[in-house]
Structure formats: structure tokens, C-alpha cells
Amino acid sequence: MLLVARWLEEGARDDGEVSVSVAAVADELGLEPDRSGMLAVMAALGELEDRRQVRVSWPLGTGGSEALVSLSSDLRSDARRLFGR
């Protein structure tokens, strides 16, 4: 849900892309502010990717803390229907 909220806040681009800071997401979710929190977020992104809900790329490599997430068309469609965008 956090990814959808971020996507909507950033203007709900048609391609479904949203940039996320892994460290910021970990902080927003109340996870540990160390490597374990970031790894938990990365694992969650991987799980969503396995379910084909998102596609994740790492512009700075997987060691970077910035992820580019593309929401699936179904997820974008549902979000637009629910939130009127």
C-alpha cells in the first residue's frame, strides 16, 4: 500500500514507476534503522516481484538504497478505481 500511496503522491504516472528510498521505507514502516531494516524492505519488494505485482530495478546496483518500482497494470487500475486518479 505504501508503494501505491507514493505512486499516487508522485502523480500516478501511466508507466506505474515510482522511485523509493529503501532506507526511508524501512523508517516509515518502523523497521530497524540498520541493514536488517533495509534487507526486510528489499525482501518484501522481491516477494511482490515474485507475485508479479511490481517490477523492481536498482539504478545504482543492488547495493544502492534507491529502487525504481513499476506497479503492475492491475495494481494501477485498482488504485485508480479506488482513489479516483
Give Dmax (Cα) for the chain.
37
- The domain tally of the chain equals 1
Tens of pLDDT, residue by residue over 63-81, are: 668 999 999 999 999 999 9
Tens of pLDDT, residue by residue over 3-56, are: 999 999 999 999 999 999 998 999 999 998 788 998 999 999 999 999 999 999
| Phi and psi at residue 28, to the nearest 5° | -60, -30
Q: Can you give the pTM of this predicted structure?
A: 0.86
User: CA-CA distance, 4 to 39, in Å (whole number)?
Assistant: 20
pLDDT at 57: 94
| DSSP label at residue 53 | S
Which sign, positive or negative, has the C-alpha torsion 26, 53, 1, 12?
positive
Give the range of the structural domain holding residue 8, as residue numbers without chain letter. 2-76
Which CATH number goes with the domain that contains 10? 1.10.10.10
Inside any domain, residue 11: yes
